[in-house]
A and B are shown apart, each in its own frame.
Chain A
């Protein structure tokens, strides 16, 4: 069974970097696409970006140059780094397996991140 689990700090100070890990079991991240999605207070959902089976990446332009998604295939993990965070980055962050034609079929349980001093 495919399982994803996010981990990382729940509190980040403004202007610092947010770093999260998604650990995948039951499926290799060298197949498919692996994305990060966040849900803001008030329920708005935002797709942040993905890393592909080959290691290529695609990011939401709204995040400009603040975002980086990388991976460690030996550990079957992929990572989110979001720089220069503000209180507007407070959200629940999810990782998911994504497909253009078949939706996001597996999700992690989510990690709530609060940006506050």
Chain B
């Protein structure tokens, strides 16, 4: 299975701050990577797919980048509604696998 190592496990940011979350795959995944946001008590929501494509309806302050084995999610200007858990997920090989998650809180 492809292991997805996500960091940091938790993060605290001030309103307006830019934050980054990273995922490192155990092998190259050819940009087959998605990012999800999960707010407390809710189901995950797709933010980014194909490493850098913004899902319809997602604010443009979210962006994804990376290649090969290293990928990142950036939030440019933290907003109160961004407080949530974030996960990466690779779809390059089955079984699909997820990162361990990042808990993002407002400082």
Which A residues are within 8 Å of any B CB, using their own CB?
Answer: 35, 43-47, 58, 60-62, 94, 98-105, 107-110
A110 to B100, CA, bound (A): 19
Compute the total of residue contacts between A and B using a CB distance below 8 Å.
Answer: 61
Report the count of interface residues on B (CB-CB < 8 A). Answer: 24
A-B contact pairs, 24 of them (CB 8 A): A43-B85, A43-B101, A44-B98, A44-B100, A45-B89, A47-B95, A47-B97, A47-B98, A61-B95, A62-B95, A100-B32, A101-B50, A102-B53, A103-B48, A103-B49, A103-B50, A103-B91, A104-B34, A104-B46, A104-B89, A105-B46, A107-B44, A108-B43, A109-B42
A45 to B43, CA, bound (A): 12
A8 to B17, CA, bound (A): 42
User: Counting chain A CB atoms within 10 Å of each CB, which of B36, B43, B98 scores highest?
Assistant: B43
B44: which A residues are within 8 A, CB to CB?
A: 94, 104, 107
| B62 CB–A CB distance under 8 Å | no
CB contact under 8 A between A101 and B95, given known A43-B100, A44-B100, A107-B45: no
Which B residues are within 8 Å of any A CB, using their own CB?
Answer: 32, 34, 36, 42-46, 48-50, 53, 55, 85, 87, 89, 91, 94-98, 100-101
CB contact under 8 A between A45 and B87, given known A60-B95, A61-B95, A101-B32: yes
